[in-house]
């Protein structure tokens, strides 16, 4: 483990915001998320070093169901992601894209089909090998490209995972052509899901951004922020347990800690060895009526959050100056 200063402003002054474990793989290992007193950046501190963090990315982490280009959800997501690059497509000549954190390469492939020349960056050894276009297999800041080369660099849900986001912003500034775009999606540290509801994927997520901290990163690295989309069009971060949080924290004025989070229905069934069915559903409803009501309220809660720009996910498009 290592203790770090703020990646954005260098300050050593920060305040704990919450503690939670690695819910996916190591439920007994707790981590603290802090907020920089000076600039407001959120980060895990102390945190696993680059060598130590590998343990939190076991092969199961990458074992997502294979996506097919006919999958309607994925196609809709890629179409939404591509919309941020549309204005560049109307310019003359073939455009070049670098997708950082390209995983199995489906998004660059989608853009190649729209006429783009594509490259990717992917450091995960567990992700499947890509042979149909160039993929750099080192950290973004270490790829052997050191001049303005790309019309656009994209990074979908990547910056929260890396140990040094500033190096990523700086590298993007080096390799994006003047007038080109850096488009990235991150979780929103202003949202209830990120800040209060223990929905961040810790310690795989190490950094937590807001529009203010994103703006400061961009100012320091030669970009200007052109667009921020807060919402659930690309990825979702559902406000699970918002009602439990609201009842405890807002109505009763008590701190909502990880111990106050009700078991999920799946965890509840496992604990009581109940088969999935009506009987288990009724027992779960009796155990946590708030969870059941919460699930019913999601659409309304999410709609309100999107409307007030407090949803858990934000996409930013920044122009290279
Ligand atoms: Zn700071």
So what CATH class is 70-189+204-237+309-320? alpha beta
Per-residue pLDDT of 191-204, as tens digits, reads: 999 999 999 999 99
pLDDT for position 153: 98
What is the mean predicted confidence (pLDDT) over 113-117? 97
Residue 168: pLDDT over 60? yes
What is the mean predicted confidence (pLDDT) over 109-130? 88
Per-residue pLDDT of 133-158, as tens digits, reads: 999 999 999 999 999 999 999 999 99
Helix (H) or strand (E) run with residue 175 in it: helix 165-175
> Phi/psi at 168 (nearest 5 deg)?
-70, -45
> Phi/psi at 45 (nearest 5 deg)?
-155, 125
pLDDT for position 72: 82
Query: How far is the centre of ligand 1, averaged over its atoms, from the C-alpha of 211 (Å)?
Result: 14
Per-residue pLDDT of 223-251, as tens digits, reads: 999 999 999 999 999 999 999 999 999 89
207 touches 60 (CB < 8 A): no
Residue 291: pLDDT over 80? yes
pLDDT for position 66: 59
203 vs 20, 53, 156, 234, 305, CA distance in Å? 9, 8, 18, 22, 25
pLDDT for position 194: 97
Query: How far is the centre of ligand 1, averaged over its atoms, from the C-alpha of 37 (Å)?
Result: 7
> Rounded to two decimals, what is the model's pTM?
0.94
Query: How far is the centre of ligand 1, averaged over its atoms, from the C-alpha of 7 (Å)?
Result: 7
Query: How far is the centre of ligand 1, averaged over its atoms, from the C-alpha of 276 (Å)?
Result: 47
User: Pick from 28, 81, 22, 86: which is nearest to 57 by CA?
Assistant: 22
Q: What is the CA radius of gyration of the chain?
A: 21
Residue 67: pLDDT over 70? no
266 vs 37, 89, 275, 279, CA distance in Å? 38, 46, 10, 13
Show me where the domains of the chain are located.
70-189+204-237+309-320, 242-304
């Amino acid at each position: 483990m290592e203790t770090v200063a703020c990646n954005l402003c260098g300050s050593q002054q920060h305040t704990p915001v919450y503690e939670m474990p690695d819910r996916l793989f190591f439920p007994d290992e707790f981590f603290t998320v802090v907020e920089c007193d000076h600039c407001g950046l959120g980060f895990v501190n102390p945190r696993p070093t680059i060598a130590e963090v590998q343990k939190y990315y076991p092969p199961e982490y990458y074992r997502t169901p294979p996506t097919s280009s006919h999958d309607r959800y994925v196609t809709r997501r890629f179409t939404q992601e591509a919309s941020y690059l549309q204005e560049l497509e109307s310019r003359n000549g073939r455009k070049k894209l670098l997708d950082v954190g390209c995983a199995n390469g489906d998004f660059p492939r989608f853009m190649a089909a729209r006429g783009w020349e594509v490259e990717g960056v992917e450091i995960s050894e567990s992700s499947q090998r890509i042979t149909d276009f160039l993929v750099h297999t080192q950290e973004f800041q270490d790829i052997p490209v050191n001049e303005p080369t790309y019309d656009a660099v994209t990074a979908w849900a990547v910056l929260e995972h890396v140990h040094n986001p500033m190096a990523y912003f700086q590298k993007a500034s080096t390799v994006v052509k003047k007038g080109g775009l850096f488009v990235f999606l991150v979780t929103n540290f202003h949202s209830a899901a990120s800040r209060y509801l223990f929905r961040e994927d810790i310690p795989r997520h190490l950094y937590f951004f807001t529009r203010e901290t994103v703006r400061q990163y961009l100012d320091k690295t030669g970009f200007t922020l052109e667009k921020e989309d807060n919402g659930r069009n690309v990825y979702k971060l559902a406000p699970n347990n918002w009602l439990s949080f609201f009842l405890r924290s807002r109505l009763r004025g008590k701190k909502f800690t990880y111990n106050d989070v009700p078991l999920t229905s799946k965890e509840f069934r496992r604990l009581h060895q109940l088969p999935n069915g009506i009987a288990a559903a009724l027992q779960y409803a009796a155990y946590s009526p708030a969870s059941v009501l919460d699930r019913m309220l999601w659409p309304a809660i999410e709609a309100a959050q999107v409307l007030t720009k407090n949803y858990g996910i934000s996409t930013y498009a920044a122009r290279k100056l």
